[in-house]
Amino acid sequence: MAWLKRLFGMEKPKDAKVNPQTKQTTSTAKGSATAPASMPTQTDSIPPERVGLNGEYDQSGLAKRVALAFDEDSQLDDIDTLYVAQTGSTVVLKGKVPNQQILDKMVGVAKGVQGATAVDTKQVSMG
């Protein structure tokens, strides 16, 4: 089963990317996403760890993009005993992997996702 489907209950969205271009959000002083032309607006950029699969804001954006990266790697796409989460810009891997070589590959792939500053593997076991 695909990583995105297993972890987030979703199919891969059309045009989803591991490292998409960020969409900018426009907000007003009151925090509204839309504003009349007479109100001043400010363009906010999305923190890299909160960028979703299509460049939109997503609280779990980094974890979803790492899951997509795992789906796109033929050596990792069928591992179903590991879970991906995030704490800020740290990717957290939890569960079980077959061997150290696979874990090293997963860490390398996760580190290659924009917004990931570290990968925590303390909750991963081998076997």
Range of the domain at 111: 3-126
Confidence of residue 44 (pLDDT cuts 50, 70, 90): confident
> pLDDT tens for residues 54-77?
999 999 999 999 999 999 999 998
pLDDT higher than threshold 90 for residue 100: yes
Residue bearing the bigger pLDDT, 21 or 108: 108
pLDDT of residue 1: 59
How high is the mean pLDDT of the chain?
86
- Confidence band, pLDDT 50/70/90 cuts, at residue 29: very low
For position 25, what pLDDT does the model report?
54
Domain count, the chain: 1
Q: Is the pLDDT at 51 greater than 80, yes or no? A: yes
Confidence band, pLDDT 50/70/90 cuts, at residue 83: very high
> CA–CA separation, 39 vs 124, rounded Å?
50
- Over residues 31-57, the mean pLDDT reads 70
Q: What are 95's strand-pairing partners? A: 82, 124
In this predicted structure, the answer to whether residue 13 has a pLDDT above a threshold of 90 is no
